[in-house]
Amino acid sequence: MTESSSRAERPGAGSEDPVDRALTDALAAERLRIVATLIRTTQDWDLAEDAVADAAERALQRWPLDGVPANPAAWLTTTARRRAIDLIRRADTERTKLAELRAIEELRGSPDPGTNPTFLDDDRLRLIFTCCHPALPMEARVALTLKVVSGLPTGAIARAFLTTEATMGQRLLRAKQKIRNAAIPYRVPTASMLSERLDGVLAVIYLVFTSAYATSVDELADEAIRLGRLLVELMPDSDEARGLLALMMLHHARRDARTVGGELVTLEHQDRSRWDHEAVAEAFGLTQLPGTARGSYRVQADLAAVHATADDAAGTDWAAMVSLYDELLELVPSPVVTLNRAIAIGMSDGPLAGLAALDDLRDEPKLADYHLLPAARADLLARAGLTAEAVVALDEAVALAPSVQDRRQLARRRGELAGDIERGDLKGREQP
C-alpha cells in the first residue's frame, strides 16, 4: 500500500478538473461498498483496500485519455474486482487454492454493486460491526473505522489522535491481525447480541465526534456525522442510531457560535443567529420521528433540541430539561448528568434550588478534578447574589481547567465578578 492510495481513501473536494470531480464522486458513492464486499469475498483487508486504490489510480490514467465512463462508479467497481482477482492470483500467501478459487468465482459472479434489499444484509454494515467489535481495543476500533469505513489516510488519523503515522499504522495492523487470528466474524451480530453490539458501534462514532472537540480537529466531527448518517441509512429501524445522529448534528450546528475571536462562548451567551439552522431543523425532524425505545442518545438529542429550538437562554424550557435529565439519569447514572441536572434546576427553580441540587456532588470522587463543577457553583452563587463566594469558586475552576481556552473563559468571568465587588465596595464608601 502506497500513499498513491490516499486519493482512493479520501475524496478531495472542490476540484475543477472533470476527471478529478467524477472520480471523487464515484469514490464517495461506491468506495465503501466496494471495499466492504471485497473484504467479505477475499477475507483480506489489505488486498481489498489496495484493489480500490489501484482502481482509482487506473481511473486517473485512463479517464483523461478515454473520457470519463458513462457510469464511473460501475467502472470503479469492475476494475477493483478485476484488480482483486489479479492480486489473489499473484499473492504468495498461505491461502488455500480452494478458498482462492471460491473468492475469484464470487468476484466474477456479481459484477454489479447493487444493494441487497434483505434487512441488515449489507456488506457495509458487516464491515462497521467488525471494525467496532468489542474484542478489539477501543482505540483500534476508532482507528479501523476511520481508516476502512471512512477512508481517511493513516497519517490523517494519526494527526487527529496526536500520534505518529508509524504508531497508527501499527495499531491498524494489530487490529487486522486480531480479526484474523481470533476469527472475529464478518457479519451483523445475531439478534441476541445485536442491541449490545449496536451500542458499541454508536459509542465508537460518538467517540470520534467528541474527539473532534477534544482535539479541535473539525474534520473528525464531519466524519462522525457522516458515519451516523450511514448507520441511519443502513439501520433505518434503530431509534438510537437516529438519536445519535440528531445529537451530533445539534451539537455541531453550534460550532460557529462556540468561539468568538478564539475565545470560548458559553451556550447561554452564544449568538444564536450563527447556529446552523438547517442542521438544527433536520436534526429536530429526526427527534420527532416516533420511536419504540428511548435510549441515552435519544434523550441527549432531546436535551440538545430544547436548547436548539429556544430563542435565548431565558426562553429555554428548563422544566422540560430537568425531566429529560431525570430520564437520562435512569438510563446512565453519571455525576456529570447530575451536575447538568442541577444547572437546569438552577435555571428553572432559581439558583438556591440549583445549589441544593449541587450539594449531592460535593464528595463525588469522579468530579474531584472537574472544572465545570466549581464553574457551575460559581454561576449559581453569582446569580444568588453571593458574588464573593462565586469568585472563590471560579478560582477553583480556573485551577482545574483543562485547556487554555477554558482557563481564559473562566478567568474572564472571574474578572467581571471581581469588578462587580470592587464597584460595590466603592459605592459602599461613597455612601457611608
Partner 1 sequence: MKYMMFVTTDPETPADETGEGTLDIETWVNTYDAAGKRVIGERLRPLEDSTTVRRRGGKVLVTDGPFAESREWIVGFDILDCRDLDEAIEIAAQHPSAASGRLELRPFWPFEDEVG
Cell 465512463 belongs to: 69
Q: How far is the CB of 192 from partner 1 (least distance, A)?
A: 7
Which run of H or E residues covers position 259? strand 259-260
Residues that bind partner 1 (rule: CB under 8 A) add up to a total of 14
Q: Which of 99, 182, 260, 388 binds partner 1 (CB under 8 A)?
A: 182
Long-range CB contact pairs, 315-319, < 8 A, 24+: 316/347, 318/344, 318/345, 318/347, 318/348, 319/348
Q: Which stretch binds partner 1 (CB under 8 A): 8-16, 185-193, 286-294, 343-351?
A: 185-193
Asked whether 35 and 49 are in contact (CB, 8 A), the reply is: yes
Instruction: Take residue 331 and report the three cell numbers written for it.
Output: 438510563
Q: Cα(234)–Cα(121) distance, rounded to whole angstroms?
A: 9
Q: Which is nearer to partner 1, 82 or 187 (CB)?
A: 187
Q: Does 190 bind partner 1 (CB under 8 A)?
A: yes
Q: Say whether residue 260 binds partner 1 (CB under 8 A).
A: no
Q: Give min distance, CB of 179 to partner 1, in A.
A: 9
- Is residue 138 a contact point for partner 1 (CB under 8 A)? no
By CB under 8 A, which span of 25-33, 109-117, 188-196, 277-285 interacts with partner 1? 188-196
Kindly state the smallest distance separating residue 181's Cβ from partner 1, in Å: 6
Ordered DSSP codes for 184-223: --SSPPPHHHHHHHHHHHHHHHHHHHHHHHHHT-HHHHHH
173 lies in the binding site for partner 1 (CB under 8 A): no
CB closer to partner 1, 53 vs 184: 184
- Which is nearer to partner 1, 21 or 197 (by Cβ)? 197
- Applying CB under 8 A, among 11, 72, 153, 189 the residue interacting with partner 1 is 189
Which residue in 192, 273, 292, 431 binds partner 1 (CB under 8 A)? Answer: 192
Cell of 406: 477554558
Confirm if 159 and 166 have CB atoms less than 8 A apart: no
Q: Which is nearer to partner 1, 62 or 178 (CB)?
A: 178
Strand partners, 226: none
Site membership for partner 1, residue 135 (CB under 8 A): yes
**Residue 295 CA: distances (Å) to CA of 199, 247, 285, 302:** 10, 12, 17, 11
Using CB under 8 A, which of 13, 70, 98, 183 touches partner 1?
183
d(CA 208, CA 206): 5
**Whole-angstrom distance, CA of residue 182 vs CA of residue 40:** 16
CB closer to partner 1 out of 164 and 177: 177
Give the integer Cα–Cα distance in Å for 243 and 144.
Answer: 23
Q: Return d(Cα 318, Cα 353) in angstroms, integer.
A: 13
**How far is CA 325 from each of CA 223, 292, 304, 345, 426, rounded to the nearest angstrom?**
28, 20, 11, 10, 42
Least distance (Å) between residue 74 CB and partner 1: 32
Ranges within 55-114 binding partner 1 (CB under 8 A): 94
Could you say whether residue 333 binds partner 1 (CB under 8 A)? Answer: no
- Of 186-194, 256-264, 316-324, 344-352, the segment contacting partner 1 by CB under 8 A is 186-194
Q: Which stretch binds partner 1 (CB under 8 A): 168-176, 182-190, 288-296, 403-411?
A: 182-190
Q: Which of 1, 193, 289, 319 binds partner 1 (CB under 8 A)?
A: 193
Task: State the nearest-atom distance from the C-beta of 331 to partner 1, in Å.
Answer: 20
Strands annotated E in 109-195: none
Which one of the spans 183-191, 198-206, 303-311, 365-373 is the region binding partner 1 (CB under 8 A)? Answer: 183-191
**185 near partner 1, judged by CB under 8 A:** yes
Nearest CA-CA partner of 221 in 252, 260, 256, 262: 252
- Partner residues linked to 263 by β-bridges: 260
Q: Label residue 70 exposed, middle or buried (CB < 10 Å: 0-12, 13-18, 19+).
A: exposed
Least spacing, CB of residue 183 vs partner 1, in Å: 4
> From the list 76, 156, 184, 382, which residue makes contact with partner 1 (rule: CB under 8 A)?
184
CB 275 within 8 A of CB 257: yes
Q: What is the number of H-type helices and E-type strands within the chain?
A: 20, 2
Query: Shortest Cβ distance from residue 172 to partner 1 (Å)?
Result: 16
Bridge partners for 7 per DSSP: none
Looking at 42-50, 179-187, 258-266, 398-406, which segment touches partner 1 (CB under 8 A)?
179-187
Binding residues for partner 1, rule: CB under 8 A, are 94, 133, 135, 177, 181-185, 187, 189-190, 192-193
